[in-house]
Amino acid sequence: MKNARTVGVVPLGLGDGMRKAAADHGMSLIVRGRRAPVIGVSLEHTTIDLTAIDSAQVGDEAIVVGTSDGLSNSFKDLAGWFGCGELEAMMTFSGRLKS
């Protein structure tokens, strides 16, 4: 199929503090040591493009902030994507998240 892609759903959404990327900012999570671009963010979920991730499967870790295989996402990265400061990016996440 033309333009077909593999999509994953992460149980992290606006209700947890995840935000949509600011205009003209590409946001990505890290899955299996590769960047998975964020397609969209809803109230309860974040949808990511897994097309470039080999053998992605249910249960794979999706890293919002952290490091995997030399790639990293920091609160500075999130702040840039969200269009806010680092402290605001960190504080946006709710108590619904497990630490």
Predicted confidence (pLDDT) per residue in 54-78, tens digit: 899 999 999 999 999 999 999 999 9
Which burial class, exposed, middle or buried, applies to 14 when counting CB atoms under 10 A from its CB (0-12, 13-18, 19+)? middle
CB 8 within 8 A of CB 36: yes
- Is the pLDDT assigned to residue 99 strictly greater than 70? no
Query: What CATH architecture applies to the domain 7-91?
Result: Beta Barrel (2.40)
2-52 pLDDT tens trace? 778 999 999 999 999 899 998 888 899 999 999 999 999 999 999 999 999
